[in-house]
């Protein structure tokens, strides 16, 4: 059986480059429970526009870089 490469998620890579390396840290930035933070980190396509704005504001990630990763 051939090896299937998983698609790399650019938004998760961006978060990790700004030291948001797990769901717990993302939960602190978003102001949600750790369970929700882990879910959002695992599946970043479920982040809402308001949550992306919080990441930009409280996570100190420029909004232009977030837009580029989407």
User: Phi/psi at 49 (nearest 5 deg)?
Assistant: -65, -40
Q: How confident is the prediction along the chain (70 residues), in pLDDT tens digits per residue? A: 777 776 788 999 999 999 999 999 999 999 999 999 999 999 999 999 999 999 999 999 999 999 999 8
- How many angstroms separate the CA atoms of 36 and 18, rounded? 20
| pLDDT recorded at residue 70 | 87
| pLDDT recorded at residue 19 | 94
| pLDDT recorded at residue 33 | 96
Domain annotation for the chain: domains and CATH numbers: 10-69 (1.10.260)
């Amino acid at each position: 059986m051939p090896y299937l490469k998983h698609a790399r998620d650019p938004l998760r890579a961006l978060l990790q480059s700004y030291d948001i390396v797990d769901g717990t840290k993302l939960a602190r930035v978003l102001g949600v429970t750790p369970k929700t933070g882990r879910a959002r980190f695992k599946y970043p396509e479920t982040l809402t526009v308001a949550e992306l704005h919080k990441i930009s504001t409280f996570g100190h990630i420029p909004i232009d870089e977030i837009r580029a990763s989407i």
